[in-house]
Amino acid sequence: MAHIAVLGAGAWGTALALTYAPQHAVSLWSHESDHIADMAGSRRNERYLPGFEFPASISLHDDIAKACAGAELALVVTPVAGLRPTLRRLAGLAACPPVLWACKGFEADSALLPHEVADAELPAGVPYGVLTGPSFADEVARGLPGAITLAANDLDFARHWVQALHHPRLRLYANDDVVGAEIGGAVKNVLAIAAGITDGLGYGHNARAALVTRGLAEIARLAEALGGRRETLMGLAGMGDLILTCTGDLSRNRRVGLMLAQGLALPQILEQLGHVAEGVLTCRVVVQRADSLGVDMPITRAVAAVLDGRISPRDVVENLMTRDPKVER
């Protein structure tokens, strides 16, 4: 048994807290005091993941120092925008525990990946890694079977926490390619918007399969350019997460694409969604990083054009289909 501080009480943070509470002491933290008070009163997270009662082994905190007191692991489960301020809070503690983060994307202002943010904010020598892969919060909270990746530059650290966090319904695999794992988690959200657009326009299963396959090639090219390994993208952190997010009805990013295909404006879509859709925030940053590296990412660039209102969803699909023939790579 370990003491795990789950930092971030959204849907995914709550699902992980519920998953690990039977085996570990779990403290669940949010910077929103009113949210903590609501959960303390109901012993549920009705705001973000309704219907699941908290066991007694989950303690609730709005004070990060109390949440992390004695913690052997800090699991940061905020949106990417919340990663840096949360890591700064951790760095300010008397003792900073090892850190895993479960957010996916690039930091919007800096265009940095999560590990690059961690390098800037965490004290030297603090072990860290990323938890990523195909995982809808609702299904994990319900105890449905799944598998995800834990990637860290220190493979021994990854293996240790894979063993410690082993769960009969949520299998973990160790990996030492942090860059590849993070790129897979970031770019798949952009491609899920594209998949929602093609599905919303009624273009069928063939179009979706082509999109997912060519999208995976884009992810792999960018990962390699940033120092990741192509084979990582053939696993859970790449192909697995991409397939789930592009096809699953619980995918927020896919829903953005579906509503774009219906002609709704992006602000209206985001208001209706009520949750963060990381692909919207990540897309322009991905294009920026790809341009700086000379990486060809036509699908990602097309999604950015739709999100910016520079082209209609139908026209962007037609443009992609009429590009010059190429050798498949």
For 215, how many CA atoms within 13 A lie in the half-sphere containing its CB?
Answer: 33
| CA–CA separation, 190 and 100 (whole Å) | 23
Token look-up 């995976």 returns 216
Q: Closest Cα to residue 236, out of 134, 127, 114, 91?
A: 134
Active site residue 66: no
Q: What is the DSSP letter of 9?
A: -
Region of 138 (left: φ > 0; alpha: ψ -120 to 50; beta: rest) is alpha
Which one from 66, 104, 188, 326 is the annotated catalytic residue? Answer: 188
Please say whether the beta carbons of 90 and 68 come within 8 A. Answer: yes
Token look-up 């396959």 returns 213
Q: Closest Cα to residue 282, out of 263, 300, 257, 270?
A: 300
Residue 272 token pair: 């209706």
Helices 313-321 and 178-200: angle between axes, nearest 10 degrees = 110
Distances (CA, A) of 234 to 26, 217, 243, 274: 32, 10, 11, 32
| CA–CA separation, 115 and 235 (whole Å) | 20
Token look-up 């084979």 returns 231
DSSP track, 182-241: HHHHHHHHHHHHHHHHHHHTT-HHHHHHHHHHHHHHHHHHHHHHTT--GGGGGSIIIIIH
Which residues are catalytically annotated? Answer: 188
